[in-house]
Amino acid sequence: MANYADFQTGLYFAGLAGETPAYPLTFAGLETAARDKMEHRLYDYVAGGAGDEHTQRGNVAAFERWGIQPRMLSGAADRDLSVELFGHTYPTPLFLAPIGVLGVMTDDEHGDLATAAASAASGVPMVASTLMQDPMEQVGAALGDTPGFFQLYTPNDRELAESFVHRAEASGFRGIVVTLDTWTLGYRPRDLQHATFPQLRGACLANYTSDPVFRSRLAAPPEEDPAAAAFQWALTFGNPTLTWDDLAWLRGLTELPLLLKGICHPDDVPRAKDAGVDGIYCSNHGGRQVASAPAIDFLPGVVDAAEGTPVLFDSGVRSGADVVKALALGATAVGIGRPYGYGAVLGGTAGVEFVLSCLLAEADLTMGLNGYASIAELSRDVLVRVP
Ligand SMILES: Cc1cc2nc3c(=O)[nH]c(=O)nc-3n(C[C@H](O)[C@H](O)[C@H](O)COP(=O)(O)O)c2cc1C
Ligand SMILES: O=C(O)C(=O)c1ccccc1
């Protein structure tokens, strides 16, 4: 069992030798450092969200309204942070949420591969986006022994969707995460102000441009006419007419675990389960899609409705304490988006690993010092509401 708290001891001892940490430890510090390094419009694309951005601020603020109640002398010197998900035991409850522009966030523009390497090294699974700068075959190979997931944006071209799913299977991904909340793009004032959207300029379309079905829809190969390929992407990307009736088709495409991302209402959970879905992913897309409420406020209702089906969660997780709170509210695994994205900006694989180490050290110490030795000991009863 890894002792994640050792990371903090390591930082103090390195300090004795005159070394300070390579990257900022707080989310605010990561965001500021990443902003200083990034092209302005790419930074705004990552940092920004829907409308007046109150949803993304609310996602973060909502965690402050929960407190963890400490227990003493409970024998929590050794902690077990492992979780079981679809037959695999992962060393920690964290996962890397899909980021569709990750590819171009690192200096070398191989951010998906850099993140996959961090996943391979840490055992923290990556949910690889449909929108990658390197094709899924390469990213899947870079995941090593850490089973990862492929996130599917269901295109309005069924044959293309089928090709994506079958390629993901062949690439070694161990589950398909279908994102439901982005069948069209939300209203994002920052991007509108810059009048820019990365994919329209050809970024992170490798899964499309490498796909035989997608290529067959083009008059000229994407290498010859990338602008036409990006335009074709915009025409195929979303499927506004997808409904629950289409889930039988999606379910029929693969025997891999199938998860639905963006579920926030308890009544949507039984519909998903009736359709043969294996996992629920509660998320409001980090507040990037539409004005809503803090995603963590939806989690307990979704968990209750799931009746034992795994529930993944993301949106607003910024600290190890947030990770523990989401677990206590019933999440099976907890995702992070922007925090590791900024790690990738600052240091590629090493930056992502650093961010994970910080979150895991804090989560581990938060559990230990509050007297909880395993995730199984966390429940809503360990939390109190802070007015
Ligand atoms: C720049 C960026 C791109 C994203 N791209 C995708 C994507 O391609 N697919 C997807 O399902 N979610 C995408 N998301 C949403 C994340 O998977 C996740 O839900 C969200 O970032 C979690 O919130 P957090 O950033 O507050 O941790 C993206 C998020 C960001 C910040
Ligand atoms: O920006 C996003 O959050 C996202 O998920 C997305 C949506 C469309 C294209 C690329 C990424």
In the predicted structure, residue 1 carries a pLDDT above the cut 70: no
- The answer as to whether 87 is a domain residue is yes
Antiparallel, parallel or unpaired: β 83-85 and 258-261: unpaired
Residue 100 CA, ligand 2 centroid: distance in Å: 6
Is 1 domain-assigned? no
Distances (CA, A) of 5 to 78, 81, 106, 306: 10, 11, 28, 32
Enumerate the β-bridge partners of residue 152.
178
> Which of 31, 179, 282, 285 to mutate to test ligand 1, by most ligand atoms within 8 A of the CB atom?
285
The residue among 15, 40, 369, 314 whose CA lies nearest residue 177 is: 314
pTM here is 0.99
Instruction: Give the residue whose CA is nearest to atom 5 of ligand 2.
Output: 100
d(CA 247, CA 9): 49
Total tally of structural domains belonging to the chain? 1
Q: What is the CATH number of the domain that holds 291?
A: 3.20.20.70
C-alpha closest to that of 289 among 152, 184, 200: 184
Q: Could you tell me the two tokens for 21?
A: 């940490």
Residue 40 catalytic?
Answer: no
Helix (H), strand (E), coil (C) string for 120-176: HHHCCCEEECCCCCCCHHHHHHHCCCCCCEEEECCCCCHHHHHHHHHHHHHCCCCCE
d(CA 277, CA 228): 36
Contact 276, 249 (CB under 8 A): no
Contacts (Cβ under 8 Å, ≥6 apart) of 5 = 361, 364, 365, 368
ipTM of the complex: 0.99
Tell how far the Cα of 304 is from the centroid of ligand 2, in angstroms.
29
* CB atoms closer than 10 angstroms to residue 135: 17
Q: What span, in angstroms and rounded, lies between the C-alpha atoms of 295 and 313?
A: 8
- In 3D, which of 213, 179, 184, 209 has the Cα closest to residue 314? 179
182 Cβ closer than 6 Å to some ligand 2 atom:
yes
DSSP 302: H
Whether 129 lines ligand 1, by a CB cut-off of 6 Å, is yes
- Is 220 among the domain residues? yes
For 251-296, how does the pLDDT look when each residue is reduced to its tens digit (9 = 90+)? Answer: 999 999 999 999 999 999 999 999 999 999 999 999 999 999 999 9
Please enumerate in sequence order all residues whose Cβ is within 8 A of that of 233, keeping only pairs 6 or more positions apart, or say none. Answer: 199, 205, 208
In a domain, 126, yes or no: yes
Average pLDDT in the chain: 98
Pick the residue whose CA is nearest to atom 12 on ligand 1: 98
Contact assessment for residue 128 and residue 140, using Cβ atoms and an 8 Å cutoff:
yes
Q: Which of 40, 54, 265, 285 is the catalytic position?
A: 285
Would you say 372 and 378 are in contact if contact means Cβ atoms under 8 Å apart? Answer: yes
With the most atoms of ligand 2 within 8 angstroms of its CB, the residue from 185, 200, 290 to mutate is 185
Q: Tell which atom from ligand 2 comes closest to the C-alpha of 288.
A: 3
Q: Best mutation site among 183, 338, 356 for ligand 1, i.e. most ligand atoms within 8 A of its Cβ?
A: 338
Residue 128 in tokens: 């690889």
Helices (H), the chain: 6-16, 27-37, 40-47, 54-64, 111-122, 136-142, 158-170, 189-194, 206-209, 212-216, 226-236, 247-252, 268-274, 295-306, 320-328, 338-369
pLDDT tens per residue across span 55-109: 999 999 999 999 999 999 999 999 999 999 999 999 999 999 999 999 999 999 9
Which ligand is in closest contact with the Cα of 200? 2
Question: What distance, in Å, lies between the first and last C-alpha atoms of the chain?
Answer: 37
Tell the residue nearest (CA) to atom 15 of ligand 1.
285
C-beta of 131 in contact with ligand 2 (< 6 A): yes
- For 204-227, what is each residue's pLDDT tens digit? 999 999 999 999 999 999 999 999
Q: Which ligand is closest to the CA of 151, given by its number?
A: 1
As given in the structure block, the two tokens for residue 90 are 């992962």
Domain with 190 in it: 6-385
* Among the bound ligands, the one closest to the CA of 204: 2
| 345 band by pLDDT with thresholds 50, 70 and 90 | very high
Q: How far is the CA of 96 from the centre of ligand 2 (A)?
A: 15
For residue 98, report the distance from its CA to the centre of ligand 1, in Å: 6
pLDDT of residue 372: 98
- Span from the CA of 190 to the centroid of ligand 1 (angstroms): 16
pLDDT above 90 coverage of the chain, percent: 99
Inside any domain, residue 229: yes
Domain assignment of residue 150, yes or no: yes
Q: Identify which of 129, 212, 218 has the alpha carbon closest to the alpha carbon of residue 173.
A: 129
